[in-house]
Structure 1
Amino acid sequence: MTTKPSIQWLTDLTKFAVNRLPAHSDHLYFESMKEATTSDSMALRHDLNGSWKFHYAVNAANRPEKFYELDFQCAGWGDISVPGHIQLQGYGAPQYVNTMYPWDGHNDIRPPEIPIDKNQVGSYVKHFHLPENMKNGKRVHISFQGVESAFYVWVNGEFIGYSEDSFTPAEFDLTPYLVDGENKLAVEVFQRSTGSWLEDQDFWRFSGIFRDVYLYTVPEIHVYDVHVRTKLSPSYDSGTLEADLTFLSPAPSGTKVVAELYDAKGHEVARGNAKASDDEKWTLSIPAEGPKLWSAEHPYLYTLYVQVYNESGSLVEVIPQKVGFRKFELKDKIMYLNGERIVFKGVNRHEFNCRTGRTITKEDMLWDIKTLKQNNINAVRTSHYPNQSYWYELCDEYGVYVIDEMNLETHGSWQKMGAVEPSWNVPGNKPEWQDIVMDRAISMVERDKNHPSILIWSCGNESYAGEVILNVSKYFKSADPSRLVHYEGVFYDREYNDTSDIESRMYAKPADIEEYLTNDPDKPYISCEYMHAMGNSVGGMYKYTDLEQKYPMYQGGFIWDYMDQTLVKKDRYGQEFQAFGGDFGDRPTDYHFCGNGIVYANRVVTPKMQEVKFLYQNLKLDVGQDRVKVRNDNLFIDTSHYHLEYTLYLDGKVFYSGTTEVAVAPQSEGEVQFDWPADVMGAPGEYCVHVAFTLKEDTACAKVKHEVAFGQHIFNESIEDVVTPTSATGNGNMRVVHGDVNIGVHGSDFSILFSKQVGSLISIKYGGKEMIEIPPAPLFWRATTDNDRGFSQGFHSGCWYTASLARKCVGVDVEEESGHVTVAFTYRLSINNDIKVKIAYSVKLDGSITVKSSYHGAAADLPQMPIFAISFKVSADYDQLDWYAMGPEENYSDRSMGARLGTFKNTVKDNLASYIMPQESGNRTGVRRVNLTNMEGQGIKISSVNKPVECNFSPYTAFELENANHHYELPNIHYTVVTIAGKQMGVGGDDSWGAPVHDEHLIKSNEDMEFEFVIQRI
């Protein structure tokens, strides 16, 4: 360790690991069987997390260069928490960028150069005393689980080592330099290094010691690395457990290694002795008859106890290693797990917490794993770096398939504003980049190789293609033939097609995928990223999941992505909000492009999850009026763990319910007949048969009665059955007053006014209470979603924004008939003379109002219309909602398969989704009726006529939402904005930078349309 450190290493491609110990498996080890069987924490580790002394410098010139020396006083420095990011603890500022490098526009550099003027430096100091079990000449190592992006280490003034690669452990031997008293550990962390060119992921740019730091010692004989493999017979009913053991130093003569395999109930099922192949490497082979196999559906784990005895026969080390017997393979161009074709129902997942960034806790990870399992998500791609070891342990234990991705992305070096231009792509075919890239691959494989949940190694993300990455793939296959290799970048250069065992593409449209699958493909297909879930999105997802049954070589995909990356910040008035790129003064930035999650950054599930859970469910229920057909798409488990609950609703109310059992084997179908009692059917109205599989008992991830899958069947849904027409009779006579300006319709306990001047209905008073604050008007514009912005909806369809604001009433017609009065307003729109919109209000004796909106635009030549609706405002006192519609979460025409017909309640404020940029949200399709009331239960009911409508209730207008970049920019709430639509376009989701909503979910402006609904008092 006599190497003299140099700041030049930051740009030296050959200096990425100085004195760093070789990567090894992440196994635990103990000094007794009692510890190994009862403890999750190692007594041989000493935690260094907590408060460290800290100095921040904006660049290297301003750092305290000699701070590591023993006589350097840092008592006056500030403090920082480890683990944690520098930029989230009061030093510097975080920066969010996607594809471009964070210095773009500031520094004209090319790899491996780095910015000199803005390379933040964190100087950390930690004083510690060795615990007793690490004294007396024992070997002591230090482990840094994650440091971004390069760091130097000193102990007691002596240089220890240097490392790059932010997301895999870096470990060093401290033994020669430790003292019995106080020790000084000094760590110098640079934000930018050569490694920064390889870490251009779509995420916040932080730096610092952001994962755990600990000391560890080892027993007198120590197994440094364990590589466990399971092999299964062709019939999968017997197998062999094999393991390679590597000792830290040659095992002394007389060393004995015994291995015992225990099942999940703690019963020993097999044992064997390891044999030495040389002084440091030993091998182990144990036969296993009838092993229970590991899968996401049934994540069965054995425990292997490797016991090391010294020459005197004393036990010196015990290694408990979880083992999952499973076989993942490629046969006939299809991926199989344990002999069954697998379909990945996955998400891409960043490690993230809205307060601590990529420093996340075990509690965060446990919440994530349970949320995945509760919502039928069976797979995760670790985008785009290795995660903490605990994540893989959870995936092993709870059952989640993993694509483990190495820490590599060089997006900005080859793609410029979407255009492929690899003139200075790294690593490409540049041999000087081979070692630094390969080091990252080796570090990931060596640490993670024993986790059965990992089925696929990934060579990184969006780094183009070339010899360097091809060589990484060859390494993966050589080091671990039991797994496949994934890399999407070969799509851009087919010369390197052999890099990936799988055809993997990002954001290919369903038609593009089908084109591949129908042209004699040579590899199975997965969408490593699809359904860009930015803001109000995930529309049209069914078009992808439909391919799973149609094409055996289509084997699923991974939604981008799992969680929004927003950070908690306070506005100028001290109120917390979810901040995105640019909110910290960071430039350049990609602004709110970090908000792509199906889970909000505060770990609250978004409305989008409703659709994901339904389309990912493995139990498909085809419900009829008196039966349900069940298709069990699970590979290994039957339906015995679930109750089949069935409920018959009449007009949204429970009419009859029951529970039964059904045994459907995996990959099989079954049917259940419902023997409804004779007196159940016959009443007029709309019936809905709702069938669901629910858990019989608590599991590790969900409580009893948790719904796993559902299906519905609706019948007798003609308008006569759905909505009982409003009675034309009332108490007393109806009086019509024709004023100079206003037309009044008055009856028993109601008063309704229409204004010829305003050109609309202006007042509804029921029981003396005014319901109309701002008059109804035709609406053709919704607040643009993120996908709308990406498609340039404002450019293509902005005329409808104008039409919603610039209209002219050109006709008022009054028609009086027995039992009702109709007042109709005809509007012309400035955008086109060929369009006519008519809204007719028919008031009946009971004060109810039937509203009919008609659009005549067959002669118009205009772009598609975002929404065809009527909108008005009532007082914000009316904020209680009671729906009979598709729900419970918001839904749209292309994102409604996961919605169910039923009755639901929420409030107007809660109806607005928390997407990080305000936009259209809260819509419901299939609205039969909805009650809008105040806290006393007074208000109005809106009911559909002829066919269901779409409705939205929001504290804000589409235009207020349109013009706000953050929720705190929205005005104080004074109104409830009511929007009733004949149709709203879908939200889309193929991508968020140009993909349109699919045609069948658009509104064609050259077609005549109309819809009808009723307003009545409650």
Structure 2
Amino acid sequence: MINVTRYWEDLKVLQINREAPRAYYIPYGDVEAASSGKRGRSPFYQTLNGRWKFQYHPSIKDVKDGFYDVSTNVSAWDDLTVPSCWQVKGYDQLQYTNVNYPFPCDPPYVPNENATGLYVREFNISDNWNEKEKYVVFEGVNSCFYLWINGEFVGYSQGSRVPAEFNISPYIQSGKNRMAVMVLKWCDGTYIEDQDLWRFSGIFRDVYLLARDHNHIVDVFNKQEISDDYQKAVVKCELQTTSSLEIRAQLRNARDEVIHEGIAMIDRKGCLEFEVLEPVLWNAENPYLYNLYIYSGNEVLLFQVGFRKVEINDGVFMINGTAVKLKGVNRHDSHPELGQTIPINHMIKDLVLMKRHNVNTIRTSHYPNDPRFLDLCNEYGFYLIDEADLECHGVLHAGDYHMLTRNPDWEDAFLERAIRMVERDKNHPSIIMWSLGNESGYDVNHMAMARWIKGRDASRPIHYEGVDPRHQGSPHTEVIDVESRMYSSPAYIENYAKDENNTKPMFLCEYSHAMGNGPGDLKDYWDIIYKYPKLMGGCVWEWSDHGIKTHSADGKEYFAYGGDFGDQPNDGNFCIDGLVGPDRKPHTGLLELKQVIAPIRMEAEDLTKGTIIVTNLFDFIDLSHIELTWRIEKDGQLIDQGEPIQLEASPHAVQRVHIPYELPAESHSRYFLTVSCRSKRETRWAEAGHEICFNQFDLPVFRRQEHEVQQIPAIQLNKSGHQLNIEGFDFKHVFDMYEGAFIQITKHGMDMIDAPTKFNIWRAPTDNDRKIKHSWMEEGYDRANMHVYGCEITNQTEASVEITVQFSLGGYIKIPFLHGVALWKVDGTGEISLQVDITVRDGLVFLPRFGLQLTMPQGTEEVEYFGLGPHESYIDKCHSVKRGKYLLTVDEMFENYIMPQENGSRYGTEWAIVSNEQGMGLKFSGSDNFSLNAAHYTPEDLTKAAHDYELVRRKETIVHLDYKISGVGSNSCGPELLVPYRLDEKEFKFELRIKPIFKEDE
């Protein structure tokens, strides 16, 4: 076994020989290189990314001493790209766990079988660096590592997601050198890195060398002061140097014009100060940046400066004196193939998607991100909650949620997490709050973190959800500036806002759990958040599904989750909980969020005159960059549109807009006005014409009812046993009197169904049904069968027949959960009408759905409908869809979730035709709107499958026509489904008409 000191289980040793934490920067050789932001253009930077020799050992006991010696031959070792996570490269166990530690909870001790990765890299040092101090920077290594250069021990570090920098000048030489790194999977720090994620290991962020002048700048802290009237800003550039050093600095505006220049002799500590009159302030809507260039010796440092003031006044969170709503998401570092190694273009892709969907805030859950990500947030315009790499959720199941934060032996480990984060990130204007971590209890160690931060940087509030009194931590929460909650209900946050005793603003650091088909309660939250100034907003959990791209045994590609690799313990698909897929394809939940948090609101004032009220919900910019487009549709067909209308409303102001359309006084048709707010010019995140939001209005045209007198042809009835044959001019239907269902529906000899019609209450549980589904299954909803008590012809004429069926639905063991009376009527046109009266047994949990299920034959691939679309919608997830006429395929109706579940419903459907491509099929309509679903899978197929690749596509088309389907909510982690969205009626009536048609004859 290797002969090293066992630092990984020693709370008194967090590092050996590591440099003190400092602000992030790269020294460049000139202004042009610095302004490019390209590290490789600096003569003082040398990447160590690339191919390393690598050897994996399941246990550190297998590591042989001396592997780091220069003479050791590593040519037979594997090649491994750095940065990377070794688990996605085929080593060790891929494992996903949320709360639970993957080993016994015995802090600070970790398993003896501690997986270890050995890295060796040879590299050259240029003669140009001979007179320089040389440093190596590891931006992220999970979980701890030992470093040797040319066979000599350099140092040790832990703390996975903040940089570790070492002065390697004594160990390095001009020409060829060898670096060896030993990375351990676990260390005592792992106890406070128990985040909800895949447990990755290795050198997963960039590694590079820096050459510095012997006398150089060590640290820079650009502090701001802004006058109360915001007409004057001062940036105080606090500098730390190795010794006496002449410093020159230039502050340039966004046009690269030098607006201030200063020079000073700094002896280890000093300050340069610049005053800016009438500064352009930074905010997420207008992320204006000044550039501060600092010159010393041969080096040029560049820092982005955004003038902004963050404060809390009378319980209201404010930026630049304006109350701001934080419309955010939680974002993990997550890549479907690279794990936690995130390329910069992948970061940009995330930010572009967020901007396109009206997100303005990111919580870096639950650790500091790559420093370049913060630069991008400065530039694109995002508010950041920068979160310390600290979570010890697993102690909850060990019996004491606060066991580490109240233990003074852990104070240094806690405190260091705050220090290293703040020192690295302190100069980023995008950071508006510091977070002390996540789900780690609350006591004296968190207080120490907060007090240190306030002493170092009082310009930003401190956030930590762990002070929620429901967690029963220390009551001494005065060092925390905001009240933060997870998954509190809309009613809870409203009660908080109403209580005058609550003096801190409330922030929902996690809400509206976006797992699978969801979330379904966004509008309910935001109606309340906008209503109360004390409510700051929140961050949806979470941005992305964390699926790992892999292949099934038969070669099908899919995204894997916990347990798919035999990992124990695991939390299954709980990592598949994002607004976008692992491939960044937006889920419909993201489209819903975009509309609900849109920065513009449009409301009707007088639709008879074409006037609407536009409210600017931006906090800092007017609407001059937006134009309003409009269109009028008649029964789903475009009939009018006009030139774009210029908007101009100031922040938080309203504008009355007149839309010049003309309407008939009355019509038998429906008229809809759709207005859309679109960007006038191209930005770095969207093209000109990008839709920011929309609204749709049902126009006030008097509906003239048509009373067409139709001659109904005669029908013929023929009863054969328990089958009733109903024949007309061009149709033949067969009703099974014993089963109480149609078993054949035809037109011109074309069969329209392949199985008996049936009433259905089951849906494949969504991820947000993960709790309620147990109650549903306990009641037998998933095994409901219909019992027919009686079936008889109750009315018969020459042109029609009525059949009454008395029935119940129930599962084995249980008493039937509902009774119904279905009245079926068939007339001489072939149209079938249904009226069903339902009584639900008292004391039952709400139903998943109720409706009619039909199985239509192979070739039924076309769905035309008038209702909400084009994508899926539910009673509580329907704000991102527009009412209109849509033509889709059955496959296009399907929303493919990684864990198969209920999907693809179209809430608010008025009529639908499901047919083959030739238009031969069934038309469905009702006296009230219904929910439509057409798919090549039954609810049972979706329930049974654990992954999308396990689904076997049926040739038939399964159609659901639902009186109601309960909402999707966010109860996988959030509150229970809100009462208005439940199918909880004890008595209800459902009416439906089914007509076999050939479209060409309609």
TM-score by length of 2: 0.94
How many aligned positions are there? Answer: 984
How far off is 1:835 after superposition?
4.0
SS of 2:529's partner is helix
Q: Give the whole-Å Cα distance in 2 for the aligned partners of 1:63 and 1:859.
A: 67
Residues 134-149 of structure 1 aligned to structure 2 (within 5 Å):
134=129, 136-149=130-143
The aligned amino acid for 1:202 is D
Letter in 2 for 1:978: V
SS at match of 2:225: strand
Q: How far apart in 2 are the matches of 1:181 and 1:577?
A: 47
**Matching residue of 2:475:** 495
How much does 1:282 deviate?
Answer: 2.8
Q: Does 1:439 align with 2:421?
A: no
Shift of residue 499, structure 1, vs aligned partner: 3.2
Q: CA deviation at 1:360?
A: 1.2
d(CA) in 1 for partners of 2:268, 2:708: 87
Residue in 1 aligned with 2:764? 783
| Contact map agreement 1:378 1:399 (CA 8 A) in 2 | yes
Tell me the residue number matched to 1:811. Answer: 791
Structure 2 residue 646 is matched with structure 1 residue 665:
no
Q: Which residue matches 1:193?
A: 187
Aligned CA distance change for structure 1 residues 994 and 260 (closer, same or farther; 3 Å): closer
Deviations 1:571-630 (A, max 9, x none): 110111111100010001111111111111111100111221111111111135222111
For 1:1006, which of 986, 992, 995 is the aligned residue? 986
CA offsets, 1:747-797, max 9 Å, x none? 444332222344311222334332211221000111111222223444576
Other-structure match for 2:14: 16
Please say if 1:422 is aligned against 2:400: yes
Equivalent residue, structure 2, for 1:261: 251
CA contact (8 A) 1:531 1:538 kept: yes
**Corresponding position: 1:628 with 2:612:** yes
1:506 corresponding residue in structure 2? 486
Mapped partners of 1:636, 1:411: distance in 2: 39
2:598 is the alignment partner of 1:617:
yes
- In structure 1, what is the Cα distance between the partners aligned to 2:224 and 2:843? 65
Match of 2:291 in 1: 303
1:197-346 equivalent positions in 2, closer than 5 A: 197-219=191-213, 221-247=215-241, 249-252=242-245, 255=246, 257-276=247-266, 279-308=267-296, 310=297, 316-346=298-328
Partner of residue 863, structure 1 = 845
Correspondences of 1:808-847 after superposition (within 5 Å): 808=788, 810-813=790-793, 815-817=795-797, 819-830=799-810, 832=815, 835-847=818-830
**Paired residue secondary structure (1:546):** helix
Contact 1:759–1:809 (CA under 8 A) maintained in structure 2: no
8 Å contact kept, 1:346–1:557: yes
Q: Is structure 2 residue 379 aligned with structure 1 residue 397?
A: yes
Q: Is the 8 A contact 1:460 1:487 kept in 2?
A: yes
- 3-state DSSP of counterpart to 1:251: strand
Q: Distance in 1 between matches of 2:816 and 2:546?
A: 46
**2:358 alignment partner in structure 1:** 376
Contact preservation (8 Å) 1:951, 1:979 = yes
Choose the corresponding residue for 1:674, options 655, 659, 663: 659
Q: Please tell me whether the aligned partners of residues 729 and 844 of structure 1 are also in contact (alpha carbons under 8 angstroms).
A: no
- Check the 8 A contact 1:5/1:159 in 2, yes or no: no
Name 2:682's counterpart in structure 1.
698
Q: CA distance change for structure 1 residues 850 and 164 in 2, over 3 Å: closer, same or farther? A: same
Q: Which amino acid aligns with 1:82?
A: V
Check the 8 A contact 1:58/1:120 in 2, yes or no: yes
CA distance in structure 2 between the aligned counterparts of 1:350 and 1:536, rounded to whole angstroms: 20
Could you say which residue in structure 2 is the equivalent of 1:89?
Answer: 89
2:437 is the alignment partner of 1:460: yes
Against the structure 1 CA distance between its residues 906 and 225, is the aligned structure 2 distance closer, same or farther, given a 3 Å change threshold?
A: farther
- What amino acid sits opposite 1:75 in the alignment? S
How far off is 1:806 after superposition? 4.4
For the 8 Å contact 1:539–1:986, the answer to whether it is kept is yes
**Matched residues in 2 for 1:504 and 1:881: separation?**
46
Equivalent position amino acid for 1:269 in 2: I
Residues 275-330 of structure 1: per-residue CA shift (max 9 Å, x gap): 53xx122311111011111111111111122223x5xxxxx222222111111111
Q: Deviations over 1:859-900 (max 9, x none)?
A: 655332110111111234222333321122211111223322
Comparing 495-504 with 376-385, greater Cα deviation is found at 495-504
Q: 2:453 aligns with which of 472, 476, 479?
A: 476
Q: TM-score, normalised by structure 1?
A: 0.93
Decide whether aligned partners of structure 1 residues 752 and 719 sit closer, same or farther in structure 2, where only a CA change above 3 A counts.
farther
1:756 has 2:737 as partner: yes
Task: Choose 349-358 or 221-230, whichever is displaced more.
Answer: 221-230
- Secondary structure class of the residue paired with 1:393: helix
What is the CA–CA distance in structure 1 between the aligned matches of 2:183 and 2:709, rounded to whole Å? Answer: 76
Contact 2:487 2:510 in 1 (8 A): yes
State the one-letter code of the partner of 2:280.
Answer: K
Partners of 1:381 and 1:404 within 8 A in 2: yes
Report whether the alignment pairs 1:655 with 2:639.
yes
What do the CA deviations read for 1:48-78 (whole angstroms, capped 9, x no partner)?
A: 1122111111111112332111122111111
The alpha-carbon deviation at position 702 of structure 1 amounts to 0.9
| Offset of residue 92 of structure 1 | 1.3
- Cα distance in 1 for partners of 2:821, 2:591 equals 36
Paired residues of 1:839 and 1:851 also in contact (CA < 8 A): no
- For 1:371 and 1:840, the matched residues in 2 are separated by 50
SS in 2 for 1:609: helix
- What one-letter code is carried by the residue in structure 1 that aligns with 2:808? R
3-state DSSP class of the match of 1:187?
strand
Aligned residue identity for 1:509 = S
Amino acid at match of 1:890: E
| Cα distance in 1, alignment partners of residues 709 and 892 from structure 2 | 34
Amino acid at match of 2:658: Q
User: Quick one: distance in 2 between partners of 1:813 and 1:523?
Assistant: 68
User: Which residue pairs with 1:313 in the alignment?
Assistant: none
Name the counterpart of 2:750: 769
Tell me the equivalent position of 1:973: 954
C-alpha separation in 2, matches of 1:333 and 1:860? 45
1:98, CA displacement in angstroms? Answer: 0.7
- Cα distance in 1 for residues equivalent to 2:200 and 2:555: 24
- Runs of at least 5 residues in structure 2 that lack an aligned partner in the other structure: none
2:418 match: secondary structure: helix
Query: Aligned equivalents of 1:229 and 1:52: distance in 2?
Result: 40
Query: Displacement of 1:162 after TM fit?
Result: 0.6
> Do the aligned residues in 2 keep the contact of 1:790 with 1:995 (CA within 8 Å)?
no
Contact 1:457 1:484 in 2 (8 A): yes
Percent identical among aligned pairs is: 32
Q: Following the alignment from structure 1 to structure 2, what is the Cα–Cα distance between the partners of residues 475 and 5?
A: 37
2: CA distance, partners of 1:390 / 1:729: 74
Shift of 1:470: 0.4
How far residue 966 of structure 1 moved from its aligned partner, in angstroms, is 1.6
> Using the alignment, how far apart are the partners of 1:931 and 1:725 within structure 2?
23
**Structure-to-structure mapping, 1:873-884, within 5 angstroms:** 873-884=855-866
Question: CA–CA distance in 2 between the matches of 1:789 and 1:31?
Answer: 57
Q: Distance in 1 between matches of 2:99 and 2:817?
A: 45
Superposed CA RMSD: 2.3
Distance 1:654 1:10 in 2: 68
Q: CA deviation at 1:240?
A: 1.2
Letter in 2 for 1:992: S
Deviations 1:396-448 (A, max 9, x none): 111110000000001111356xxxx427x443222221112211211111111
SS at match of 1:690: strand
Moved more, 865-874 or 191-200: 865-874
| Partners of 2:746 and 2:776 in 1: CA distance | 41
Question: Among 94, 98, 114, which residue is 2:110 paired with?
Answer: 114
Q: Distance in 2 between matches of 1:750 and 1:39?
A: 73
**2:121 is the counterpart of 1:126:** yes
Moved more, 173-182 or 706-715: 173-182
Q: Displacement, 1:904?
A: 3.3
Secondary structure of 1:80's counterpart equals: strand
Structure 1 residue 591 and structure 2 residue 581: aligned? Answer: no
Per-residue Cα deviation, 1:899-921 (whole angstroms, up to 9, x for no partner): 22123344323433232221111
CA distance in 1, matches of 2:397, 2:287: 40
